[in-house]
Amino acid sequence: MSRTVISLIILAAVGLGLLAGSLAGTGGWKLYVLAAIGLIFLCALVFHFLDLRKNPGRAEGKLLPILAAGVAGIAATWASRTILGLDACVASGLVGLLAALFLPGNLAATAYAASFAGMSSPTILADLPMVFCTGVLVGVIFYLVQPVYEGFGGKLGTIAAAAVLATAFIFRILGGM
């Protein structure tokens, strides 16, 4: 149950952060549209929380294989781009295809989400420590939000974006960039 609460807090924080960032300098009808999107997001989180209270077994998963899939997915995409010189989309698609063929459901999804993170510019993910950190964050975030918004589009890309932004922030604070 605590994992569910943490996942809901993370999703709410990401949603509120995106909403707050988009509200800066916004007025008129755009403000109402963004507020409506925020309310829909909030209602979906509340309904998900109520559903998980009825079915707590839906939120189960194994963390270590998910972390490994995240690190492997981003490392394969990053290496395909930097060493083999493949285009970002081709590298991500190749990693996603191989993950779908050889890994079970959630592990394939984690590797595919990590491949999205691996599409980041080499100026953002400059070296292997950043790639490794981002892969771990993709795995952790995927593990925490795994049961949330099942069947909705955009979840894997959002996980990848959040992991890349968090890694860039961490390395900037630590002086690594």
Question: CA-to-CA distance for 69 and 27, rounded, in angstroms?
Answer: 42
Side chain identity at residue 28, one-letter code: G
The domain segmentation of the chain, as residue ranges, is: 2-59, 63-173
Per-10-residue mean pLDDT of the chain, 177 residues long, equals: 64 63 62 67 69 61 87 95 92 94 92 95 89 92 78 83 87 73
CB neighbour list of residue 172: distance below 8 Å, 6 or more residues apart: none
pLDDT at 120: 92
pLDDT at 67: 92
pTM exceeding the 0.85 threshold for the entire prediction = no
Helix (H) or strand (E) holding 120, with range, is: none
pLDDT at 55: 64
Helices (H), the chain: 2-23, 29-54, 63-82, 88-102, 105-118, 128-145, 155-173
